Amino acid sequence: MIWYHDQQSFDTADSVTVTVGNTTSDVNAVLARNGNISGKVIDEAGSGIEKISVYAYDSSDNSRYHAGLTDSNGEYTVSDLPAGSYKLKFFSLEITDSSGNLYLKEWYNDKQSFETADSVAVTSGDTTSDVNVTLAVGGNISGKVTDEAGNGIAEVYFYVYDSSDKYITVGYGMTDSNGDYTVNTLPAGSCKIEFSNWRAIDANGNSYAGEWYNDILKPLI
């Protein structure tokens, strides 16, 4: 969509003045054709993956334009994109491999964030093809959170961070009624786990001290 006069939004569009009894003429516009991005999503064995969501974001401001979905062969097309530069995110919250492992989210091309993703150029009336990705499956971590008597503690929040950067959260969750937890779809590598004392309390209403794995006391902030 385009606004008059060759602008991309209401805020930047030129105003048109209308006066009583007159026709404001020659308010003309030239519309360019949109373009498309297409490609294929495969697993590490080379097989296409069905029902993977594909989101296209404007490279300049991270605003999302259009989305696509892979077909039974893993092929996709994101259509009706204005000419420009885009970054693509591939993910699914439910599609698994034959062993039940979820696929990891990925930005094109084999990147982990919008900031590091490669841009894909779209030109008017054309399809930028062969924007292909290979998705890996993640690993899992499980365990149990107990009190000093060995009883499981329910509703303990935990956060999993990339060991190289404390600002990159790769997983999170909460312990069940038995104190057990599992965090799925973690990228291969090293991570650190924080167990929060925000919600869990004992039978006397006392909160627990938060800590990092393994038995590293979490400082008060």
Residue 174 DSSP SS3:
strand
Task: Name all domains of the chain by residue range, CATH numbers in brackets.
Answer: 35-134 (2.60.40.10), 139-217 (2.60.40.10)
Integer Cα distance of 157 and 194 in angstroms: 8
pLDDT of residue 51: 96
Task: Classify the phi-psi angles of 155: left when phi > 0, otherwise alpha if psi is within -120 to 50, otherwise beta.
Answer: left
**What radius of gyration do the chain's Cα atoms show?**
25
Locate all alpha helices (DSSP H) within the chain, ordered by sequence.
none
Within the chain, what is the greatest distance between any pair of CA atoms?
87
Is the separation of the CB atoms in 44 and 133 below 8 Å? Answer: no
Q: What is the dihedral of CA 158, 159, 164, 167, to 10 degrees?
A: -140
**Could you read off the pLDDT of 40-92 as tens digits, one per residue?**
999 999 999 999 999 999 998 888 878 999 999 999 999 999 899 999 999 99
pLDDT of residue 1: 66
Q: How confident is the model at residue 23 (pLDDT cuts 50, 70, 90)?
A: very high
Is the separation of the CB atoms in 27 and 48 below 8 Å? Answer: no
* Dihedral (CA of 184, 187, 193, 197) sign: negative
